[in-house]
A and B are shown apart, each in its own frame.
Chain A
Amino acid sequence: MAEAVAPKNNPKNSWGADLFTLLKRHEVRFLPFVPDAGHADLIRLAHEDNDMQPVVLTTEEEGVALACGHWLGGKKSVLLMQSSGVGNTVNMLSMLANCRFPFVTLVTMRGEFGEFNSWQVPMGRATPEVLKSMGLTVHTVTQEDQLVKTIDAALYAAYASDQQVAVLLSQALVGRKEW
């Protein structure tokens, strides 16, 4: 694979490793993703781990159907995407409601808190409502000390009681892309 160099303007976070440890503890086996800078650490750690398989997607709705398939086969997955991708998933989310599939997605927010690019704003603003209208429980994390606790609760609710949960990682937490 070609050597990739991360661009300098992506925010740097300290919690990627904590999140990864949490996902491992919950025996999450697959990480389908459409990349976002905020998920970069998690994706890198998954690539380096033998028991966690990242799955690169062409569009986010693939990840919803894929997660349903993983659970049909008895394995857990967590979908990583950014808020702009939530719009792509809408009809596929109906599968979660119809079949009551356990589901967790971690959504890094754009267009929500100190956004430079106005094109990100409409979907960022719609993201929580879109997810709620499709029946998901939505938690928003703005503070680092709430992050592991919230995602732990999301994983527990999903895989202990068939719930569908989205955790939105605010730009206040992730940091903003510098231009």
Chain B
Amino acid sequence: MLQRREVVAQINQARGQALMVTGLGSSSYDLHAAGDDDRNFYLWGAMGGAAMTGLGVAMAQPERQVIVLTGDGEMLMGIGGLATIGVQQPDNLSIIVLDNGHYGETGMQASHTQFGVDLPSIARASGLPVSLSVETEADMLQLCGALASQAAGKGGAIFASIKVAAESPERSLPIVDGVEIKNRFRRTLGLNPL
């Protein structure tokens, strides 16, 4: 089974100039562990808001690739967002779910994806043109290829669910100060604080 820290390191390596938004909990720790970067907007709360935050950035910065990295529980809480993304068709946005089938922060309770709820099918039915189920190293290469195509302006919005092992690697904590996370992210786009 794929390991979350390894796949996130791989995505981070393949990101190029992409801006990234992470959902609260392990996804934020994973990206921070792969390498802190001012272009990372880490959520520490606002569960269910990662995909929509990413959509907002993608709409405001249509020339930049935006990658959202989140967990299955966080995606499920904002599941209607896939329908909203399907309407907008942002061709610079990728939503990548690290699906361990559990709510990892709260004691590893089983999530819906363990009971047959299939996130890539929901994304596909919502109209996202690329929707991948990633379970192997070969699938990961396919995802990285899709991200590279998107960075080159081809292929449209991407959804990917990566099945990862239900493990809890040591936490790697990004800064918590939301104002600082916002300001440093915006500065990379040449936008200054008010």
Give Cα A77 to B55, complex, Å. Answer: 13
Task: Please state if A57 and B84 are interface contacts (CB–CB under 8 Å).
Answer: yes
Specify which chain A residues have a CB less than 8 angstroms from the CB of B54 in the assembled complex: 69
The answer to whether B159 has its CB under 8 Å from any CB of chain A is no
Would you give the 0/1 interface string for A39-82, flagging 1 where the beta carbon is closer than 8 Å to chain B?
Answer: 00000000000000101111101111111111111110100000
Specify which chain B residues have a CB less than 8 angstroms from the CB of A61 in the assembled complex: 48-49, 78
Specify which chain A residues have a CB less than 8 angstroms from the CB of B53 in the assembled complex: 65-66, 68-69, 72, 95
Q: Which of B69-105 contact A (CB under 8 A)?
A: 78, 80-81, 83-84, 87-88
Give Cα A99 to B43, complex, Å. Answer: 10
Chain B contact residue count (CB 8 A cutoff): 37
**Which of A29, A55, A73, A162 contacts B84, CB < 8 Å?**
A55
Interface majority SS on B: helix, strand, loop or mixed?
Answer: helix
Give Cα A59 to B59, complex, Å. Answer: 19
Specify which chain A residues have a CB less than 8 angstroms from the CB of B45 in the assembled complex: 91, 94-95, 98
The answer to whether A132 has its CB under 8 Å from any CB of chain B is no
Specify which chain B residues have a CB less than 8 angstroms from the CB of A99 in the assembled complex: 178-179, 181-182
Give Cα A99 to B64, complex, Å. Answer: 22
Give Cα A64 to B182, complex, Å. Answer: 15
CB distance from B19 to the nearest CB of A (A): 8
Give Cα A102 to B58, complex, Å. Answer: 18
The answer to whether B152 has its CB under 8 Å from any CB of chain A is no
Give Cα A37 to B80, complex, Å. Answer: 22
Task: Please state if B81 and A62 are interface contacts (CB–CB under 8 Å).
Answer: yes
Give Cα A160 to B47, complex, Å. Answer: 28
- With A67-B56, A70-B56, A73-B59 as contacts: A98 and B44 at CB distance below 8 Å: yes
Give Cα A98 to B49, complex, Å. Answer: 14
The answer to whether A142 has its CB under 8 Å from any CB of chain B is no
Specify which chain B residues have a CB less than 8 angstroms from the CB of A59 in the assembled complex: 80
**Which of B52, B87, B182 contacts A66, CB < 8 Å?**
B52
Specify which chain B residues have a CB less than 8 angstroms from the CB of A159 in the assembled complex: 194
**Which of B21, B52, B179, B191 contacts A62, CB < 8 Å?**
B52
Of all A-B residue pairs in the complex, the 10 with the closest CB atoms, nearest first, are A69-B56, A73-B60, A58-B80, A65-B49, A99-B178, A98-B178, A65-B52, A75-B60, A69-B53, A73-B61
State the B residues within 8 Å of A (CB): 21, 41, 43-50, 52-61, 64, 78, 80-81, 83-84, 87-88, 178-179, 181-182, 185-186, 189, 191, 194
For this complex, 22 residue pairs linking A to B, each with C-beta atoms less than 8 Å apart, are A30-B56, A30-B59, A55-B87, A56-B87, A58-B81, A65-B46, A65-B48, A65-B53, A65-B56, A66-B84, A69-B56, A69-B57, A72-B41, A73-B57, A73-B189, A91-B46, A92-B48, A94-B46, A95-B46, A95-B53, A98-B44, A162-B194
